[in-house]
Amino acid sequence: MRARGYNAAMTRLLAHYLVTAAHTDIRARAQALALEQSVEMPLAAITDVAIRTEIVATVEAITPAGHGRYRVVLGLAGATLGRDLGQLLNMLFGNCSLQPDVELIDAEWPDELLANHPGPRFGLAGLRAALGADQRALSMTALKPQGLAAAELAKLAGTFARAGLDIIKDDHGIANQDYAPFAARVVACQRAVSCANAARGGHSIYAPALSGGPRQLRQQIHVVREEGVGMVLACPMLLGLPVFDELVRHELPCPVIAHPALAGAGRIAPPLLLGRLFRLAGADATIFPNHGGRFSYDRATCIAIAQAARAPWAHLAASAPVAAGGMSVDRVEEMLATYGRDIILLIGGALLSAGPALAERAAEFVTRLHVAAERAA
Amino acid sequence: MRARGYNAAMTRLLAHYLVTAAHTDIRARAQALALEQSVEMPLAAITDVAIRTEIVATVEAITPAGHGRYRVVLGLAGATLGRDLGQLLNMLFGNCSLQPDVELIDAEWPDELLANHPGPRFGLAGLRAALGADQRALSMTALKPQGLAAAELAKLAGTFARAGLDIIKDDHGIANQDYAPFAARVVACQRAVSCANAARGGHSIYAPALSGGPRQLRQQIHVVREEGVGMVLACPMLLGLPVFDELVRHELPCPVIAHPALAGAGRIAPPLLLGRLFRLAGADATIFPNHGGRFSYDRATCIAIAQAARAPWAHLAASAPVAAGGMSVDRVEEMLATYGRDIILLIGGALLSAGPALAERAAEFVTRLHVAAERAA
C-alpha cells in the first residue's frame, strides 16, 4: 500500500504506565501495549508504511520502577486523539483498563496537542474575583443530607450564606429526586443565598449539582441561566468526560466544580485524573479526598493532586484544588499550612453535626480561615 | 423535625460489596459505607426521622467471604436513585470508588425499581431478526487499523460483507479523526456493505462507532438515520452511562453494541458492569474480553458475563454477549461449545493478519460458525 502523511501525526502525547512484568518479558509487553492503545492488531498485519510509522504508538522508554514493575512511556500519535476528551481517555486507557497489569500514571502533552483544549474558563483566579477574595484561601460547604425537601435545603443554604461561607454546593448525591427536584431546589436555594448576600453585603455563591443525560442537563442549565446561578457542581466520570468537556466549551455560563465520584475506580493516578485531566476538561475547581478523612489517599498524593490542578501548565488557567472528604473545622490551620492560600477547604458533615449550633460552627469555620489568612499575609 | 414519607422509599436496591476489614471493625465499616452511599454525613447529625428510616442506606447483611474480606449487603433507598443511570451508578459506587477496601460485586433490583429502565429495545432476538439468523451464533469483525482513510475502510467492509460476516463494526479507536471523519466513513462503509448485500442477497450490518459529547453525537446520529445504518457501537463508560441511557431511550433508531473501553478500570465486578448494568442501560449486545486472548478475565468470569447479559431478568430483553479480544478462527468451535448459540463471536485482527488471504479467512470464519451451528442443531 502507498505511504501517506497524517496531520499532527509526528506530534506524540507521551503516556506513562506502570506495568508489572518479568524482566525477560517487559520489552514484548510494552510493544503489545503500544499496539493495544493504537491500532489494536498485530503489527505484521499492517502493510501501510505511514500507519506503521505515524499511527502505531511507539515505545519511547522502559525503566525499572521496583517491585517487579516497569515505567513504560508510550508515544501516542496526535492524529489518533482527535479533539475530544473521550477519545483522549480512550487512547490513554480505554482497552488497557481491562488489563490489570497496567496502571496509567502520567502524561506529557506537547503544546500543539494542548492547544485543542482551552481548559478552565474562570479557574482559581475567576473564583476569587467572583467571591471578592483575592488573596486568601476559600471556604466551601455542602447541603445535605439527601432526603431534605427544597425548602429545607434552602434554609440551610441561607444559614451558611449568613455565616459567610464562600461556596455552598449541593451534596453530589442530590440529583433530581422527587423529594427535591432540580428546578424547585435551585430556585429556592439561589434565592436564599441571594437574600443573605443582600442583607450582609456578602458574596456567597450557591453551586447546584448537575446530573443526568444531555436532555436533562439542557433543562438544568436553562434553570441555572434563568436564576443567575453563579457556579455548578458536576461529576465528570459519571456524566462522561466528553459531556463535561462540551458543557464547558459550549453550554455553561458560570464556573464548574468537578466532583470525583466514580473517579477512584482505579488504576489511573489521582494527580493525573483529578488534577490534570479534569483541568484539561475545564474544571474551575476540583474536589479531592484529603488525607486523614474518610478516604485513603496519603498526604503526598493529595499534595500532588493540588499541584497538578494549579501549577503553571501552558496556557491553561489554574484550577482551584478543593480539599474535602470528612474534614473538620479543627483542621483549618493545618490544611492551610499544607496547601497555602491557593486552596478551597470543603467542610460539610462536620458543620451539620453541630445541630442547633450550626450557624456558630459555620461562622467559626469562616473566621478561622480568615484569621489564618491574615496571619500568613 | 417532622416525619414524612418518600415515594418508593421502602423499596430498596440491594448492593453487594466485598469489604476488606478486621473482624472487630466490619460492623462499623459497613455502617460507614451505608452512610457514604446515602446521606454522606454522621447519622447522629440527622434529626429527621423519615430520613433516618427511609433515606439512609441500611446494612442488610454481613457475611465472611474469606481472605479477610466480608460480603456486605446494603439496602439503597429507591427514592435516592431517581430514574437516571448516572445517579444509580453514583449511589452504587460513586464515593466508595475512592475507598480501595471496597469492591462492588452484585446488585439486586426489586421490580418496582427495574420498571424505570426499559433495557434493550432489540436485544439478541432483534439482532437475529435483522440478520436473518434466528437459530445460530452470530459473527462479528472490526474495521481496523485506525489510520486508514474512509475509502480503505469501506473496501474492507465490502470484503467482509461478501464473505458473509453478520456484523462489521468500526474498531472502537476509530472516532472522528481527520483521516477518516465520521460522516465520510459511514457513507462509504454503509454503501459498501449495502452493495455487497444486494449482490449476494446478504444481511450483513455495518456498525459505526459513536464518540464525543452530545453535540457531536447528535450530528453522528443524523448521519446514521440518513444513511439507514443498521447498528451502532458505543462505549458507555467513555460517553457516560447517562448519555448511553438517553441515546437508547430517545435518539437511536437502531440496535446498539456496548464496548467495554475504560470499563475495566476496576473494582466493579465485570458481570455486573458489562452484563447487567449495560443491559439495564439498553445495550442490545455487549462486548467482553474472552479468556485466552489479550485480556485476563478467566473462563468463569466470562461465562458469568454472558449469563448476566442474556439470562431471564424481569421484563428486560436479553442482550447478546459478544466474545472478543484477540480471538482466532481456530477457536470458533471451542467458543460455541462454551457459550452455545446465544453468542456473537468477534474476530478482528486475526482476519486482517491473513493479508492477501483476508477474504478466504473471513469466509472460513463464517463457514465454521455455520457448520458448527448445523451440527449442534
The pLDDT tens digits of the residues spanning B212-258 come to 999 999 999 999 999 999 999 988 888 998 998 999 889 999 998 88
Grid cell of A320 as nine digits? 482551584
Classify the C-alpha dihedral B16-B18-B20-B24 as positive or negative: positive
User: For the stretch A92-119, what's the b/e string if a residue is b when 16 or more beta carbons lie within 10 angstroms of its beta carbon?
Assistant: bbbbbbbbebbbbbbbebeeebbebbeb
| pLDDT score, position B353 | 82
Residue A250 touches chain B, beta carbons under 8 Å: yes
Inter-chain CB proximity A178 and B86 less than 8 Å: no
pLDDT-based confidence at residue B38 (cuts at 50, 70, 90): very high
pLDDT tens-digit map of B170-217: 998 899 988 999 999 999 999 999 999 999 999 999 999 999 999 999
Question: The cell 451440527 sits on which residue?
Answer: B375
For residues B370 and B376, what is the distance between their CA atoms, to the nearest angstrom? 10
Q: Is A209 helix (H, G, I), strand (E, B) or coil?
A: strand
- Cβ atoms of A323 and A346 within 8 Å: the answer is yes
Classify the C-alpha dihedral B158-B162-B163-B164 as positive or negative: positive
Query: Which of the 8 DSSP states describes residue A277?
Result: I
Distance from CA of B37 to the nearest CA of A (A): 8
CA dihedral B45, B22, B89, A297 (to 10 degrees): 80
Q: Is B287 helix (H, G, I), strand (E, B) or coil?
A: strand
Grid cell of A173 as nine digits? 448525591
Per-residue pLDDT at B265 exceeds 80: no
Residues of A within 8 A of B349 (CB-CB) are: 40-42, 45
pLDDT tens-digit map of B284-336: 888 888 998 877 788 999 999 999 999 998 888 888 888 988 889 999 999 99
Taking CA–CA distances from A181, the nearest residue in chain B reads: B82
Grid cell of A311 as nine digits? 501549577
Establish whether the linkage from the previous residue to B110 is cis, with ω within 30° of 0.
Answer: no
**Phi, psi (rounded to 5 degrees) for A320:** -85, 120
For residues B237 and A340, what is the distance between their CA atoms, to the nearest angstrom? 36
Residue B267 touches chain A, beta carbons under 8 Å: yes
- Cβ atoms of A325 and A295 within 8 Å: the answer is yes
Inter-chain CB proximity B95 and A176 less than 8 Å: no
For residues A212 and A208, what is the distance between their CA atoms, to the nearest angstrom? 13
| pLDDT score, position A139 | 87
What is the pLDDT of chain B when averaged over all its residues? 88
Distance from CA of A44 to the nearest CA of B (A): 7
For residues B4 and A145, what is the distance between their CA atoms, to the nearest angstrom? 15
- Residues 125-154, chain A, touching B (beta carbon < 8 A): 142, 144-148
Residue B28 touches chain A, beta carbons under 8 Å: no
The pLDDT profile of chain A, 377 residues, written as one tens digit per residue, is: 333 566 544 799 999 999 999 999 999 999 999 999 998 888 888 889 999 999 999 999 999 999 999 999 999 999 998 888 889 888 988 888 888 888 888 888 888 888 888 888 888 888 889 999 888 888 888 898 989 999 999 999 999 999 888 999 999 889 998 899 999 999 999 999 999 999 999 999 999 999 999 999 999 999 999 999 999 998 888 899 899 899 988 999 999 888 888 876 666 777 887 788 878 777 788 888 899 887 778 899 999 999 999 999 888 888 888 898 888 999 999 999 999 988 888 888 888 888 888 889 989 988 998 898 888 77
| pLDDT score, position B376 | 76
- Helices A182-200 & A214-226 angle (0-180, nearest 10): 30
Closest by CA to B15, choosing from B125, B94, B105, is B105
Q: What is the pTM of this model?
A: 0.87
Total count of residues recorded for chain A: 377
| pLDDT score, position B211 | 94
| pLDDT score, position A1 | 36
- Residues 93-112, chain B, touching A (beta carbon < 8 A): 93-95, 97-101
Residues of A within 8 A of B221 (CB-CB) are: none
pLDDT-based confidence at residue B158 (cuts at 50, 70, 90): very high
Inter-chain CB proximity B289 and A349 less than 8 Å: no
| pLDDT score, position B124 | 84
State how far the alpha carbon of A309 is from the alpha carbons of A276, A280, A283, A313, A339, in Å: 6, 9, 9, 9, 12
Burial of B110 (0-12, 13-18, 19+ CB in 10 A): middle
- Cβ atoms of A117 and A111 within 8 Å: the answer is no
Inter-chain CB proximity B40 and A173 less than 8 Å: yes
For residues A241 and A248, what is the distance between their CA atoms, to the nearest angstrom? 11
For residues A220 and A246, what is the distance between their CA atoms, to the nearest angstrom? 15
How many CB atoms within 10 Å of residue A354? Answer: 15
Residue A300 touches chain B, beta carbons under 8 Å: no
Give DSSP secondary structure letters for B178-220.
Answer: TTS-HHHHHHHHHHHHHHHHHHHT---EEEPBP-SSHHHHHHH
For residues B301 and B288, what is the distance between their CA atoms, to the nearest angstrom? 10
Query: Which of the 8 DSSP states describes residue B75?
Result: E
Distance from CA of B240 to the nearest CA of A (A): 4
Cα B360 off chain centre by: 31
Distance from CA of B49 to the nearest CA of A (A): 11
For residues B30 and B33, what is the distance between their CA atoms, to the nearest angstrom? 5
Residue A55 touches chain B, beta carbons under 8 Å: yes
Residues of B within 8 A of A5 (CB-CB) are: none
According to DSSP, the residues that pair with A15 across neighbouring strands are A74, A107
- Residue A324 CB contacts under 8 Å (≥ 6 apart), including other chains: A140, A287, A288, A289, A290, A293, A346, A348
- Residue B234 CB contacts under 8 Å (≥ 6 apart), including other chains: B209, B210, B244, B247, B256, B257, B258, B259
- Helices B214-226 & B182-200 angle (0-180, nearest 10): 30
Inter-chain CB proximity A97 and B265 less than 8 Å: yes
State how far the alpha carbon of B1 is from the alpha carbons of A23, A367, B273, in Å: 64, 29, 39
| pLDDT score, position B261 | 80
Interface pTM, i.e. ipTM: 0.84
